[in-house]
Amino acid sequence: MVPLAGYLFVSAALFCIGLYGALARRNAVAVLMGIELMLNASVVNLLAFWRYLNPNVSLSGPAFAVFVITLAAAEVAVGLALIIAVYRNRDTVVVDDVDLMKG
Amino acid sequence: MDIIYDPFRVIGDALRGLLGGFGLPDWAVQLIMIVIGVSVLVVFAMLTMMFLTWLERKLIARIQDRVGPNRVGPLGLLQPVADMVKLFTKEFIIPTNADKVIYYLAPIIFVIPAFMVFAVMPFDRHAIISDLNIGWLYIVAIGSTSTIALLMAGWSSNNKYALLGGMRAVAQFVSYEIPQVLSVVGILLLVGSLRMGAIVEAQNTIWFVLLQPVAFVIFLLSTISEINRTPFDLPEAESEIIAGYHTEYGAIGFALFSLAEFINMFAASALAATIFFGGWQGPILPGWLWFLIKSYAMVFVMIWLRGTLPRLRVDQLMNFAWKVLVPLSLVNLTLAGVGVSVMNYYGWQLSSLPGVLFAFGTFLVFNVIMVLLFLALYRTPKVERRNVVLVKQASKSRPQTPAAASGR
Amino acid sequence: MIAIKDQRSKMDWIMEFLTFIVFAGMTLTGAVFMVTLHNLVRSVLAMILAFVGVAGLYLVLEAEFLAAIQVLVYVGAVAVLVLFAIMLTQRVSDPNKPTNNAQAWLAFTVSVAMFGILSWVYAPIKWPALPALPTVNNEPVGSVVNLGQQLLGAYAVPFEVASVVLLVALLGAIILARE
């Protein structure tokens, strides 16, 4: 059998890789991808905790996971629309170059 | 009689007994049975694909008053074999500056989902590899992944027509997925389950096409679009963008793409037959024969449509999806929900005759309402007549009229 | 293995463990390639591998519905959208420019430290063993029927709020991306 810790370590590693991607990449789309990875890691955790600690009829884990996935999809749609809008105005998708508000 | 009416169970039991006789443990027998089942399925899919290529060419030829393939074998039946040999022995050419890894991977990734759909297909009462709890959702999820392969093929070819084809494929498939899924949700409400087996069993009194004809039309149109066939085959419109995403693919790559497309076509026909025409249910004949008859009837309809209809324009295609099919399927879903509530309120069951008649009446009213709504709200798109004027010549030729020339 | 059995044989446990290893490996390999590959399109393909691996993990956790949703939403929609966005904005991405910014090393340190902290928290805890999944009406609790009833019953308000959020996001995306 797979111990709960197995899922937790996989999800922790996934989260940290996503964190690195979100912090280190220059391209805004790549940053968004890193964030998606982090959200996925959180969903793995939600389901693993539900399955191991509280597998009851109220399905707190899967229901929460459904909402997280819904919001992640909405976030990607708006995020990419923002990136394309920025690209149209500033001709760049590099996060560091979008610095009009910087004093 | 059992061997004719229920061959899968008889053969399966015999095999299981044989393997058990060797003294193998249960899990090994199970594993071997799964491997055998999957192999049989793959061989069946390959043979179907070869037969479909022949059938399509023959039928299209009849429609266009030609003869079609008739040289290799009787009636040209061995033509697909000759094609296969030719495609497999040709050199697989990689275009300059193509992204090699992705270029290799794309056709393979396109083929896998085509085969995976058959895992939940009910061929007969006991012939379904895995009757998943999430049946229809599984098909939708697997089907949505093929988009990625098309985009990969288009992008990695390093060819603008291929990229255009890939982009078109994505826009089209993402749009038509919505009405395709929504049109079936009404039926899922009636069945109360997502299992493909349950969907078939719920139809032993009445086919769902009689309860949900509008949903069937939506499903048929969006499925033809999803499997990329005329009149919706914009991603590979040869008169505009050569062959779309598989412009650069030859030999085995091309063979894999067409393999997947024909398997998708059969899978789509089989799905339509399963969801709307009662699948393997039918009188007298054995279930698997009914399944094949219904599936091939749908295949015939698709080939017929291809032989009859011209291709749409991109803007017409997208408008049709978002302004006609999506609203219509939402209305259909709402009315189906109302209908199911009415049925539950009065306790009508689809399994009893009065319940079926009442349900038929209710849904008949709803479908008439939907057709009337469609007729009232749908405006036929105006055909834009453009006068062909050769702009450059027209402006140049004006001063050179005979009168102007003589006046000079 | 996905189906519920009261008494699992030893073989089932081994199969489950192997499946977990395969999918966890897929997920982590995909994730690592996603953040390290220079070519963004390839990076998205690695991300798809990671998403499929995560869907496999959901299967091992007996949440088939979420596995299907994961494939449908992430592979079928999110990855396609991201690929589209990359292709639309490809013109500016110069292969000679670095893909990482100046703080990449700092980011790496932070990530490793984060993983260290999480491991330090997780490792000493005695986690309970896998309990049997209860059933409702002869179906496992994770079935689509039960999830649907819960989503429209106990979680009806968040469900409606989520749909409003989706609608607003849809409109916002259209308005933002319109020329």
Q: Given an 8 Å threshold on Cβ–Cβ distance, is C71 in contact with B155?
A: no
Other Cβ atoms within 10 Å of B264 Cβ, number: 23
Q: Which of residues 112-171 of C touch A (CB under 8 A)?
A: 112, 114-115, 118-119, 122-123, 125, 127-131, 133-134, 136, 141-142, 146-147, 150-151, 154-155, 158-159, 162, 165-166, 168-170
Q: Which of residues 20-39 of B touch C (CB under 8 A)?
A: 25-27
Least Cα distance to B174 among B151, B158, B195 occurs for B151
Dist CA B323 CA B313 (whole Å): 15
3-state SS, B287-351, equals HHHHHHHHHHHHHHHHHHHHHHCCCCCHHHHHHHHHHHHHHHHHHHHHHHHHHHHHHHHHCCCCC
Dist CA C139 CA C3 (whole Å): 10
Tokens 């989260």 belong to residue? A15
Q: Express each pLDDT in A19-78 by its tens digit.
A: 998 888 888 888 899 999 999 999 999 988 888 888 877 788 888 899 999 999 899 988
Contacting residues for C154 by C-beta, under 8 A, at least 6 apart: A58, A63
Sign of CA dihedral B391, B395, B397, B402: positive
Dist CA A53 CA A3 (whole Å): 12
Q: Which of residues 24-53 of A touch C (CB under 8 A)?
A: 24-27, 29-30, 32-34, 36-37, 40, 43-44, 47-48, 51-53
> Which residues in chain A are contacts of C158 at CB distance < 8 A?
63, 67
C and A touch with 3+ CB pairs <8 Å, answer yes
Dist CA B85 CA B82 (whole Å): 5
C76–chain A nearest CA distance, Å:
11
What the block records as the tokens of A73 is: 């999809």
Ramachandran region, residue C127 (left: φ > 0; alpha: ψ -120 to 50; beta: rest): beta
Q: What is the pLDDT of residue B408?
A: 45
> Which residues in chain C are contacts of A30 at CB distance < 8 A?
35, 40, 43, 99
**pLDDT over threshold 80, residue B165:** yes
Q: Express each pLDDT in B305-350 by its tens digit.
A: 888 888 888 888 888 888 888 988 998 899 888 888 888 888 777 7
Least Cα distance to B193 among C159, A43, C58, C138 occurs for C138
Dist CA B144 CA B132 (whole Å): 18
B and A touch with 3+ CB pairs <8 Å, answer no
* Residue C65 · residue B137 · CB < 8 Å: yes
What is the Cα gyration radius of chain C?
21
* Residue C39 · residue C56 · CB < 8 Å: no
Is the preceding peptide bond at B231 cis, omega within 30 degrees of 0?
A: yes
Element (H, E) at B146: helix B146-156
> Which residues in chain B are contacts of C149 at CB distance < 8 A?
none
What the block records as the tokens of B156 is: 């990695």
Q: Given an 8 Å threshold on Cβ–Cβ distance, is C72 in contact with B194?
A: no
Element (H, E) at C135: strand C135-136
Dist CA B170 CA B148 (whole Å): 8
The b/e string for B265-291 (b: 16+ C-beta within 10 A; e otherwise) is bbbbbbbbbbbbbbbbbbeeebbbebb
* Chain C residues within 8 angstroms (CB to CB) of chain B: 9, 11-12, 15, 39, 41-42, 45, 48, 64-65, 68-69, 71-72, 75-77, 79-80, 83-84, 87, 139, 143-145
Q: Express each pLDDT in B41-66 by its tens digit.
A: 888 888 888 889 999 988 999 998 88
Other Cβ atoms within 10 Å of A88 Cβ, number: 13
Q: What is the pLDDT of residue B46?
A: 87
Tokens 């020329």 belong to residue? C179
Which value does ipTM take for this structure?
A: 0.88
Element (H, E) at A38: helix A28-53
Dist CA B251 CA B241 (whole Å): 20
The confidence band for B159, taking pLDDT boundaries of 50, 70 and 90, is confident
The verdict on C15 touching A (C-beta cutoff 8 Å) is: no
What the block records as the tokens of C108 is: 């790496």
Burial class (CB in 10 A: 0-12, 13-18, 19+), C136: middle
Q: Express each pLDDT in C12-67 by its tens digit.
A: 778 888 888 999 999 999 999 988 888 888 888 899 999 999 999 998 888 888 89
The average pLDDT across C54-82 equals: 88
Dist CA C139 CA C148 (whole Å): 13
Dist CA B292 CA B312 (whole Å): 31
Q: What is the pLDDT of residue A14?
A: 92
Q: What residues are paired with C140 via a beta bridge?
A: C135
pTM to 2 decimal places? 0.85
% pLDDT > 70, chain B:
93
**Subunits close to A (at least 3 CB pairs below 8 A):** C
Residue, of B149 and C96, whose pLDDT is higher: B149
